[in-house]
Amino acid sequence: MAMKKRITKNACAKINLGLDVVGVRGDGYHLLRMIMQQIDLFDTLTFTVTDAQGTGTVRLIDESGLSPDGEDNLICRAIRMMEEKYDLHADIEVELIKRIPVAAGLAGGSTDAAAAFTAVRDLLLPQVTDQELMELGVRLGADIPYCIAGGTKLSEGIGELLTELPPMPECAIVLIKPEASASTAHVYQAVDRLGGYHHPDIDGQIEALRAGDLRGLAERCENVLELVTGANLPVIGRIEDFLMGQGAIASCMSGSGPSVYGIFETREQAERAREAFLHTESASGCRSFVCTPVSDSGM
């Protein structure tokens, strides 16, 4: 009897150290300029090829119940794209341990899809390059190429243009996900209606990373989408103010929200701040984590 082929992937969340909207393409996609950073909050996915010459069925087991069912799930869609592109007929089972909050601005769905692309490649198509996977992945989601590449990157275009940056200096990150959620599509539509707004100093952040200057990086953390999500969800500003009051050197929203992160110089400070936050009224319904930056996705 043939051995079943199996691989396990840890799919990391990301935060945006800086996020700017610099234009809109003719097809409605927004052109972005972002500093992306992976953190060590991750989902664990185990992929098993149950039959290499099967009917192309995909079975997803997620006991958390947090991810969308069936074919709507980005994991299933990523595997389907690989099957179509490379004419595969393998039956694949995916066990998902979900830790990253969903609809949170942390690329939770995109990073799981990135894991699916790389897992199918590693199990069945070792000749396929990361670059090929990234070109396929961007058709499914703008964050997927970055999640395949990982680490610290400048992301431009609709997410497909990635530039390697020096790793984020050592620090600790408090991550807080309020109970509320934000619709990415609605947030971008609302940004379009704003007209003019202040643009984050992305170039200054790149210089700070090159200089290994954590404070210089932190003081330029800014996200234009917060103009919309922050106005709709005042809890975001309350959490940021609290973290800054606890000694964070930056606090900002990630992605289209509503997750908020605070950057601390030591893990001890971060643990203390999270503990203090848990005793506030704002903590009700929130999920909170203490994380560190990840310099390489390892996918």
User: Distance (Å, rounded) from C-alpha 87 to C-alpha 91?
Assistant: 13
Residue 192 lies in a domain: yes
Among 164, 187, 217, the domain boundary falls at 164
**Which helix or strand (DSSP H or E) is residue 230 part of?**
helix 226-232
User: Is there a single domain that holds both residue 224 and residue 86?
Assistant: no
In the residue annotation, 153 being an active-site residue is answered as no
User: Is there a single domain that holds both residue 19 and residue 140?
Assistant: yes
Among 110, 133, 164, the domain boundary falls at 164
User: Which candidate in 43, 62, 112, 143 is catalytic?
Assistant: 143
Here the CATH number for the domain that contains residue 105 is: 3.30.230.10
Helices (H), 70-158: 74-86, 108-124, 130-137, 144-149
pLDDT along the chain (299 residues), means of 10: 82 98 88 97 97 92 74 90 96 96 93 98 97 95 95 94 97 96 86 89 98 98 96 96 98 96 98 97 94 81
User: Is there a single domain that holds both residue 10 and residue 109?
Assistant: yes
User: Which candidate in 14, 98, 153, 177 is catalytic?
Assistant: 14
Classify residue 93 as exposed, middle or buried by CB count within 10 Å of its CB (0-12, 13-18, 19+). Answer: middle
User: Is there a single domain that holds both residue 47 and residue 75?
Assistant: yes
In the residue annotation, 5 being an active-site residue is answered as no
Classify residue 159 as exposed, middle or buried by CB count within 10 Å of its CB (0-12, 13-18, 19+). Answer: buried
pLDDT at residue 1, as a whole number: 44
Q: How many domains does the chain have?
A: 2
Q: With the C-alpha atoms ordered 60, 62, 68, 69, is the resulting torsion angle positive or negative?
A: positive
**pTM for this entry:** 0.94
User: Is there a single domain that holds both residue 244 and residue 137?
Assistant: no
User: Is there a single domain that holds both residue 179 and residue 233?
Assistant: yes
The residue range of the domain holding 180 is 172-294
Among 131, 164, 197, the domain boundary falls at 164
Full strand arrangement of the beta sheet holding 172-177 = 250-253, 260-264, 172-177, 287-291
